[in-house]
Structure 1
Amino acid sequence: MRRFADLDEFAAARGEHLGYSPWREVTQRRVDTFADATDDHQWIHVDPERAAAGPFGGTIAHGYLTLSLVSAFMPEIFHIDGLTMGVNVGLNRVRFPSPVRTGARVRGGAELLDLKNSPAGKLSTVRVTVEVEGERRPACVADTLSLYVA
């Protein structure tokens, strides 16, 4: 994990790759739990028998499940000391270039695109790329917006 002493030091990393989270497995149980939480029970996610004959040879994670892991990856990748609060304020752009097959391992990599002043603190734009172990294309690329208050 990369540590920054304060927001000024974080700002100096603009344009840099900040590092990677640890790998984590996307299990069928996690996919099923996400399906229950979102009421999205499409067979490609929750029916391993039917999905085995489908286009991916098995079940795949929901795109929004993959995206939701970004909030877990970011604090594993970097930490800014001295903050009183960090708030997720949205996304500028999200793409899902390839699926995450159930049982695959994924990790996030982060790049600081921008950090600018806002009335409430500093607004960051961090691009998080979710990689799938052994795959050439990423599963998700998301430009996240976070408000940091010192």
Structure 2
Amino acid sequence: DWDNWVKSICEKNQWKAPRQSSPLIWRELIDRGGRGALVGDLDDFQEYAHCYYGSILNHFMTNTSALFRSIAEENAQQHIRDLELNEQHIKQTVNPYHICIIGADHPCAYGLFPDLRSSNLFPNRDICLRLTTHDPTKLSSLQAIAMEI
């Protein structure tokens, strides 16, 4: 598929196809019109860029790995800062009411949960419910209630 595409582009622009299957690189002067000029494959492009940019390119090529490491480190630090800022924002904007229900396994408490979730009781506020029981055998029923809520 790649070879057919390269062949069709080269025929369309009357270029001699490059000898390798590396990227096909050409330049176009879009502002002035005219057809594109074939630069060649990757090796030809590197030579073209070296002639055009000279010592700037040499400096870039010798310091590329250090540059990429520096960029990666900067990106990682920025990501950590973004996470910290997001966490601070959440802590500042979310300030729920903390409600602890002791004996939450009792049937009366089960009837209380829909009222606590109602927006009329605590308008525009989040709530954080803590359900406790004195009977360790009823912990699984509390977990089921918590999932319902």
Superposition TM-score, scaled by structure 2 size:
0.19
**Which has the greater radius of gyration?**
2
**Higher strand fraction: Structure 1 or Structure 2?**
1
Normalising by structure 1, report the TM-score: 0.19
Larger RCO: 1 or 2 (CA < 8 Å, sep 6+): 1
